[in-house]
Amino acid sequence: MLRNVRVQAALQARQSADAARLSIRREDVLAGLLEAVNLAREQRNPAGMVAGLRELSKLPGFRAPDRLKVDVEVGGVGHAEMRRMERMGVISEED
């Protein structure tokens, strides 16, 4: 869904409008989260530090999903080999 350009544009417009309405800037959020992480560090609260760092990692896009290519094997035969066998007429798509 986020690959759709119109959806991305609408989402960005909504986020910008919300930020303007709430008078919140990205820098303010980062500063607040850093302050929370530092407070958790002072209090020797590792769970609080991890939670704050997790939220920080989400903002700049550090946790953007990786694209993976998955190759499935059927009975020990890979996708490319299955396609080759189909072209040769050894098997059909229904098999």
Residue 2 has phi, psi (to 5 degrees) of -75, -5
70-82 per-position pLDDT tens digit: 666 666 667 777 7
The one-letter amino acid at 48: G
pLDDT tens, position by position, 30-58: 899 999 999 999 999 999 999 999 998 88
For residues 15-35, one letter each, b for 16 or more C-beta atoms within 10 angstroms of the residue's C-beta and e for the rest, the string is: eeeeeeeeeeeeeeeeeebee
The pTM of the full predicted model, rounded to 2 decimals, is 0.48
For 54-67, b where at least 16 C-beta lie within 10 A, e where not — what string? eebeeeeeeeeeee
